[in-house]
Chain A
Amino acid sequence: MADTPNPIPGMIRGMSVTWKTLFTKPVTVNYPKVKEEPHPRARGVIALDQDACTVCMLCARSCPDWCIYIEGHKEEQEPSKPGGRVRVRAELDRFDIDYALCMYCGICVEVCPFDALFWSPEYEYGEQEMGELLHRKEKLQDWLETVPDAPALES
């Protein structure tokens, strides 16, 4: 064909890019061996502080896809002083988050009025079985250790 462009200049330009890139440091990291530090605000996994939870169900109700399952019961506590009032405390029986359903919007963390839920930037919890992605309260409690301290802010 007559109007076929001459490929030689383009090829030379292309190969020069290849040569230049050959001697520059790669921007990627070798993932399983080298890990990049996630941002402290990254929404990786939700951690639960069981002692702070009062089974108020606000998180379960505000979840857009209902992936939080909560069950609890009331327990009477001994009065702290003799003759004091018997207090009723809600005890948490079940707190499950189904990460197969979760869409990581963070509304549950936001609505929690008792600081029981936190975001952790941890991300390595992939499973072979879908059912394993349902994290029980013990597992959610373990995530609490990975919650970073509040980062400094721009004024």
Chain B
Amino acid sequence: MLDAQAMAQISETSVAVELETSDMTLNIGPQHPSTHGVLRLVAKVDGEVITDVRPILGYMHRGYEKISEVRTYPQVIALINRIDWTSGYANEIPFVVAAERLMGIEVPERAQWIRLILTEMTRISAHLLFMGSFPLELGATTPLMFALRDRERVLDVLESVTGGRFHPNFNRIGGIKPAAGAGKEQKKLTQDLPAGFFTETEAAMDGVIASTDQLEKLLRKNEIFVARTKGIGVLPPEVALSYGVTGPNLRASGVPYDLRNETDYLPYDQVDFEIPVGTEGDSFDRWWVRLAEIRQSANIVKQAIQKVPSGPLQAKVPKIIKVPKGETYVRAEVPKGVMGYYLVSEGGQGPYRVKIRTASFSNLSMLPWILEGVIVPDLLAVMGSLDFVLGDVDR
């Protein structure tokens, strides 16, 4: 007969021998529905714990940088809407501003304010999509319905101005679109905002703010949501900075870095807004920062509506746009983070070279770091909280 101590020793040893399993390689994707596109992950799994993750990109590569070299400027603006399809309008801004700076065009104030309003509305719609998709990845379907309901309202206002819900294609070099195209008589006249735009937008913003309260009430104290997000996927600020993470993901880690405060591509200095900053840098903070940003953006839009001056929408530009020789780099704060266009012009009708820096690519680059030590069921929860779009990653 063995005594209890020896018994325990033997069973512990046998357990240790039993658990000495080899690492399993788990292939995830490239068609996983929860990854906002086609991303392939090759994960080394030890039991349930992920030890190493290798993201494999390129399934959504559409070659926008190369195709921009053989297209004219108006055509490029139509194409770059599709880089990050959740924030089509915001993608246009840095490119258009880059071309305007090379040409030395002063954009009329009214056009700048309308750009600002529409950019913030795009930010709201992109974040509202996250408010729906992230809880959905954790198994909650109700927030998706509520978020999409209010997102539709914002997109409806966007469509009434630009004619497109996802791909507005509303910016032109020198201002915003001169002819919206609808209407038999006035087609070639300069088209402005449709009547009733300001009241409609204000009502939509009130709806959005009410919706964020509703979403917060649903999720902030929800036991399952809190258990699955608090303290999971923690991203320390120094790691985030070293990987070049930008946008809400960086601000959730506690770094108050927002390009809207730093550069002057749009008149953000004339509106009051706060930059919501997280404390822990976990999945919950990333959700909360985006929720707070929706409120701030709605406030920005409400202020901007009061400040839109009357005046022209277009600066004087030649009919066939030729950008003089030179190069420039313009960054902007799009919903996912910092987006930049390095534009090289040789004086032709189209760019000579465009290098696009997208936010999602840098945000995804720290995926191996953040997923190390995370268990498999939390994989999608962490990835969902980073809110990347694969079209934005692969361009």
Contact = CB atoms under 8 A, between A and B. Distances in A.
B232 to A, nearest CB: 14
B78 A103 contact: yes
A105 interface: yes
Interface string B168-182: 010000000111111
Interface of B: 71-72, 74-75, 78-79, 142, 149, 152, 156, 159-164, 167, 169, 177-188, 191-198, 218, 221-224, 226-227, 310
**Main SS of chain A's interface residues?**
loop
Nearest to A9: B223
Contacts of A105: 75, 78, 167, 169
A5 B310 CA distance: 56
B317 to A, nearest CB: 13
B192 A6 contact: no
A154 B193 CA distance: 5
Nearest to B156: A39
Interface stretch (A73-81, A85-93, A113-121, A124-132): A113-121
Interface of A: 5-7, 9-10, 13-14, 17, 27, 39-43, 62, 64, 103-107, 109-110, 115, 118-119, 121, 147-155
11 contacts: A6-B223, A39-B194, A40-B183, A41-B159, A43-B181, A105-B75, A107-B78, A109-B181, A119-B182, A152-B194, A153-B193
Contacts of B75: 62, 64, 105, 107
A120 B71 CA distance: 26
Contacts of B178: 110
Contacts of A39: 156, 159-160, 163, 194
A103 B161 CA distance: 18
A6 B188 CA distance: 64
Given A41-B160, A148-B183, A151-B183, 4 more contacts: A64-B78, A119-B182, A150-B184, A154-B194
A5 B223 contact: yes
Contact of B74 (A107, A148, A155): A107
Contacts of A27: 149, 152
Contacts of A10: 221-224
Nearest to B76: A64
Contact of A106 (B142, B156, B163): B163
Nearest to B172: A110
Contacts of B72: 62
A14 B142 CA distance: 9
A41 B161 contact: yes
Nearest to A144: B184
A4 B223 CA distance: 9
A35 B187 CA distance: 26
Contacts of B163: 39, 41-43, 106, 119
A51 B152 CA distance: 39
A61 to B, nearest CB: 10
A148 B152 CA distance: 23
B181 A110 contact: yes
A64 B183 contact: no
Give me the 6 closest cross-chain CB pairs, A-B, nearest first. Answer: A150-B183, A5-B223, A105-B78, A150-B186, A152-B195, A119-B181
Contacts of A109: 179, 181, 187
A17 B71 CA distance: 51
A153 B194 contact: yes
Nearest to B162: A41
B160 A43 contact: no
A114 B183 CA distance: 15
B198 A154 contact: yes
Contact of B191 (A6, A153, A155): A153
A41 B180 contact: yes
A104 B167 contact: yes
Given A5-B226, A62-B75, A103-B78, A147 B184 contact: yes
Nearest to B198: A154
Nearest to A115: B187
Contacts of A104: 164, 167
A151 B72 CA distance: 30
A43 B164 contact: yes
Interface centre among B71, B161, B194 (most CB of A within 10 A): B194
Contact of A149 (B184, B191, B221): B184
A150 B195 contact: no
